[in-house]
Structure 1
């Protein structure tokens, strides 16, 4: 089968790989949609990879199970099931793994599928442990499932971490795939949304997804602008930082009202803020790494039940043969989200 492999230094290759065969506790999916995530860019742009580091990219898998291992129970997974994949595996016995948070497993057995240390979904077929698959509602499309498998699911997990309420105002820093999903979901949850990004194109998309206020930090000071449009000029009730930008991280804390909570989602880098001001205003800063298996299950059902237009997050569709152009375009960070579709 053809498969996309990141080489590093903004290069990729479409390689021939053997079709996978499941082990006793594994399943094989026929991929129908494989989303492109902002995290892909870290591997795409990263240093050159050695031959033993070359794995199939893509960690937003959605498809149909076509083969199951001999030890997989029918209630776990069966041929024909439409599923998304929780793209992590761990030791399966520690407290984190048993509670569905395999991505924070501390053992040497931890694996992340799709461009990191295990093969992913930018190929016709993908092999995963049976415990990682989540069955989709019948009326959820494969594209929507692919979005939930990482970007939209990550936003859902962060909003749950924030315990966002319908009478609150949230400022979402960065309107890439995760931030845009946050805007869509936060509006569905009844909140007032302030969307921030340096890209006018992404701010226009945020308006279409329901943002009540949009702010371009290149034109206005974000902290002042947020206070100007919030109750009594105090700031946002909650903030979500998705850009990984150091200044934006600091601003996400500074722009909170008293007793407000900031959630850091964008990975890598550092944050610097005034500890005194944070203490005096009783602020809370939390981190959120993607979502648990149960939260992914909750997310796909939330999308289906609320009939959210998650598919519209995808501004571009590609075939696997177009992978080079797809990532060159995605690398500009001026588009919404891309997806590889399979017939």
Structure 2
């Protein structure tokens, strides 16, 4: 099969290669991959900033395709079914544990830049019928994370949700929050991207370059109450403002580290406002399945900013690592 290998922790170390076709073992399914989608974790892996990766490797955690063959003992799937493999195939459901997140596609297991991959049948989720393969490839990390974020605060009509930026998690969270009846406040540095967010349903828009104290603007927009949920996708530079923007009893759902992983935090606001700070490492196969069902029920269409060909893998990574230029997801079509 044809594949792309990353031979070293460098964004210039991608190379096309030919490898033997994998064979599905007992309980496994062979998937003909049709598309992949990038996450910031892929850039961290490719630059040597994520633990556990070995080189050479087939990169990219997220992908989508169709069932090409069934291993022994597999039921419930048929050749030709359109599917999404979860990137942590051992995490079927329940609470996170060291063992169920130890194996990760695109890190310790072959990723999505190959024609075929053999995965446990129990790690597959059906691709919603209204989505194509590129759109489906966007779901595993970003949609699952956003789904868990919205659920963490029991988001419902009347809830206020604050989102930072227009990356994949933020845009999925916008779509899920609006489907739940919430009011959404979104902050970005670009008026053009803010307009895209408005078209997707954002109720209030903040340009944080024009309004650096965006947390104070959130308080003003909510008449001093703050947000029930802040999805913190940025990291060390914004966490203090996210805590300030949260309402009493609110949730700050932390998933991002684009601006680093450290910050000096005053504990008093957390204590006084009884805030919940929730860390997240994406979610299980069951969580992805729930997100996919919500996407199907609400006819949500993932936002794909740009799709590259597999021979343009280096350019796709460069686009994502540049930061701040895309809305939604960057994909790679096979």
- Does the TM-score normalized on the shorter chain lie above 0.5? yes
Aligned: 1:63 with 2:65: yes
What residue number does 1:89 align with?
89
Partner residue in 1 for 2:333:
341
Q: CA RMSD in A?
A: 2.4
Question: What does 1:231-250 align with in structure 2 at a 5 Å threshold?
Answer: 232-244=223-235, 246-250=236-240
Residue correspondence of structure 1 range 251-266 to structure 2 within 5 A = 251-266=241-256
Where do residues 107-186 of structure 1 align in structure 2 (5 Å cutoff)?
A: 107=99, 110-114=102-106, 116-186=107-177
Contact 1:2 1:14 survives alignment (8 Å): no
Equivalent residue in structure 1 for 2:33, among 14, 31, 34: 31
Alpha-carbon separation, structure 2, partners of 1:44 and 1:208: 34
SS at match of 1:282: coil
Q: 1:216, CA displacement in angstroms?
A: 2.6
Q: Secondary structure at the match of 1:31?
A: strand
- Distance in 2 between residues matched to 1:48 and 1:223, nearest whole Å: 31
Residues in 2 aligned to 1:332 and 1:4: alpha-carbon distance in whole angstroms: 21
Q: Is the 8 A contact 2:38 2:330 kept in 1?
A: yes
Give the secondary structure class of the aligned counterpart of 2:262.
coil
Deviation at 1:3, TM superposition (A): 2.1
Give the aligned length: 327
- The equivalent of 1:45 in structure 2 is 47
- Deviation by residue 1:215-274 (Cα, 9 ceiling, x = unmatched): 2322211111111111x3221121111122x12112111111222211112157134322
- 1:35–1:338 contact (8 Å) kept in structure 2: yes
Give the aligned partner of residue 216 of structure 2: 224
Deviation at 1:141, TM superposition (A): 2.6
Is the Cα contact below 8 Å between 1:34 and 1:121 reproduced in 2?
A: yes
| 2:237 counterpart SS class | helix
Q: Once the two structures are superposed, what CA deviation does each residue of 1:186-212 show, in whole Å capped at 9, x if it has no partner? A: 112111111123344433332222111
Question: How many angstroms apart in 1 are the aligned matches of 2:129 and 2:100?
Answer: 37
Where do 5+ consecutive residues of structure 1 fail to align?
91-96
User: Alpha-carbon deviations, 1:21-55, whole Å to 9, x = none?
Assistant: 11222211111221112221212333699995322
Residue deviations 1:8-31 (CA, integer Å, cap 9, x gap): 232231331222111222211111
TM-score (norm 1): 0.87
Q: Which residue of 2 aligns with 1:4?
A: 4
Shift of 1:147: 1.6
Q: Is the 8 A contact 1:62 1:84 kept in 2?
A: yes
3-state secondary structure, aligned to 2:238: helix
Give the drift of 1:321: 0.8
Question: What TM-score, normalized by structure 2, do the two folds share?
Answer: 0.90
How far, CA to CA, are the matches of 2:15 and 2:250 in structure 1? 47
Query: Is the CA contact (8 Å cut-off) linking 1:176 and 1:202 kept in structure 2?
Result: no
Listed one character per residue, the Cα deviations across residues 75-113 of structure 1 (whole Å, up to 9, x for unaligned) are 2x33222111111134xxxxxx56355xx3323982000
Where 1:8 maps in the other structure, the secondary structure is coil
- The separation in 2 between residues aligned to 1:301 and 1:59, in whole angstroms, is 21
Cα distance, 1:236–1:43 mapped onto 2, change above 3 Å? same
Of residues 272, 276, 291, the one that matches 1:299 is: 291
Report the alpha carbon displacement of residue 178 of structure 1 after superposing the two structures with TM. 1.0
CA contact (8 A) 2:88 2:101 kept: no
Out of 162-171 and 197-206, give the one that drifted further: 197-206
Counterpart position of 1:78 = 78
**Alignment counterpart, residue 327 of structure 1, candidates 313, 317, 331:** 317
